[in-house]
Amino acid sequence: MALKTFEIPKDLNASLPAEYRNGSRDQVKMMVTEAGETTFTSFKNLSDYVQPGDVLIFNNTRTIPASLKVEWKDKIIEIRLSQQIDNLIWEGIVLKENVNIGDRLIVSSNLTFAVMGQGSEAPLLQLESGLNTQETIMEILSVGEPIRYDYIYQPFPINTYQTVYGSVPGSMEMPSAGRAFTWQIINTLKEKGAKVGFVQLFTGLSYYEKDRWPNPSNHPERFCVSKEVADLVNQAKRKGNRVIAVGTTVVRALESAGKLGDVVEKNNEYTDLYVNERYERKVVDSLLTGLHEPEASHLDMLTSWLSKDEITALYHEAIERQFLWHEFGDLHLILGDDPS
């Protein structure tokens, strides 16, 4: 969509996690949009907007440290992994250098990637690991670093890039809409009568550098929806209760699993679903998400709920109210029409 009608001031790029700024990860701001009206509040008030019977679905993948310093032609360069294709093949980008097919990228004494060719879209490359999946991931965990963009000025440990409920390793970047949740907030929602479930969508890179952004249609991502979650969501839909996706990745997973009506079990399948203003949602009623760059496809997804003019106006007001962007930033809850 590329909404060029707003620009993020540099001081509103969240360079520090909330717990470093304010003492705890749940200390972030939240704007809530419902029926054409928006209120500005704190994320800690989330339970005020959740009703008994609502179902909140989270992406419980864990982030792996997918930024790797590798040896190439007597240089040390950086590669960023984007996704795993099969037992040996991965996709990733090489920063600031032009490598060739057949080049070897030495991660450690145990792990080397060979450049096999172009990936699913430029500038992604296919990289063949010399180790199997488990061995590759173990090596990445021992030598890798979290992917860190220019607005984050200092390194933070990998746990900073995890949600409290993340348990399934494999995302290259954190599914950050859920970062502010604590177990106390999740338990408060349950006590109010809301139900929770977990899916997996293994996130790739959100940005390719040099003003290049992924196109979801060209960048399939692996996802899993269990029978338990499918039954939970289908039951909520039949009862007229809301299904609230915590993050755009959850929207992509649930809508991909529910293309034909009921949500069905999906295990390690790939989706290239692109949710935008032309897409008619069948599963997800409401969305909790972060604030997105004007060029990002995640912002396109919001047009499934709001018009471009509404998004632009809301983001201008968020800027005036000093909301923060990116993975350590503030949140936006979009409540759809009551399905009942």
pTM greater than the 0.85 cutoff: yes
The token duo for 334 is 């979009």
For the stretch 269-323, pLDDT in tens is: 999 999 989 999 999 999 999 999 887 777 889 999 999 999 999 999 999 999 9
φ, ψ dihedrals at 294, nearest 5°: -65, -25
For the stretch 135-189, pLDDT in tens is: 999 999 999 999 999 999 999 999 999 999 999 999 999 999 999 999 999 999 9
For the stretch 22-81, pLDDT in tens is: 999 999 999 999 999 999 999 999 999 999 999 999 999 999 999 999 999 999 999 999
- Please list, in sequence order, all residues whose beta carbon lies within 8 angstroms of the beta carbon of residue 235, skipping any fewer than 6 positions away: none
How far is 6 from 49, CA to CA, in rounded Å? 28
- Residue ranges covered by each domain of the chain: 10-63+155-335, 67-143
The CATH number of 67-143 is: 2.40.10
Residue type, 144: G
The CATH number of 10-63+155-335 is: 3.40.1780.10
- Please list, in sequence order, all residues whose beta carbon lies within 8 angstroms of the beta carbon of residue 61, skipping any fewer than 6 positions away: 166, 168, 169, 170, 171, 175, 200, 201, 202, 203
